Amino acid sequence: KLDTGAAARSTEKLKAQEPFDVLVVGGGPAGAAAAIYAARKGIRTGIVTERFGGQVLDTAAIENFISVRHTEGPRLASALEEHVKEYDVEIMNLQRAEKLVRKGKEIEVELASGATLKSKSVILATGARWRQLGIPSEQDYRNKGVTYCPHCDGPLFKGKRVAVIGGGNSGVEAAIDLAHIV
């Protein structure tokens, strides 16, 4: 038996939220840190995010996070969420923020679900995303030769021939960084 009213009940619950002092849009490491610091000051804090952990969830191995020699993305995301939950932070996961509107002294954050959250201030910690080429087999070779972070993944290709696909400052910077490794 399917619960066809679950989404509507979730939206109504969100609509009933009292205004926040700080609402963080984004649930990656930056959003988690922002929420923790705000909550430690004793102010009403919320996080609205499409998926808690953000891009970290898609990262197989992390070897460049200060004080942590090696971890996996999902493990780090889980640790971030547990840390945030140690504080009085309302986490609204699986919610896509679509629009910010100033209404007097408050900011309204309109969600894809139809709900609207209100806050005195909003911190945008929307993170990053990998830009994809959309070519055949790109997804098949993701993390098997096709990677998106030269700083993170460069050491995996030490001594090998690589290609940087991209332009502008980021592409040139990636090529320069990789030239010392590959």
Q: Indicate the pairing of strand 45-48 with strand 20-25.
A: parallel
| Distance, CA of 22 to CA of 96 (rounded, Å) | 17
Q: Is 116 helix (H, G, I), strand (E, B) or coil?
A: strand
| Distance, CA of 169 to CA of 174 (rounded, Å) | 9
Tell me the catalytic residues.
149, 152-153
| Distance, CA of 113 to CA of 166 (rounded, Å) | 35
73: its two tokens: 């993305």
Ramachandran bin of 135, using left for φ above 0, alpha for ψ from -120 to 50, beta for the remaining angles? beta
Indicate the length of the chain as a whole number.
182
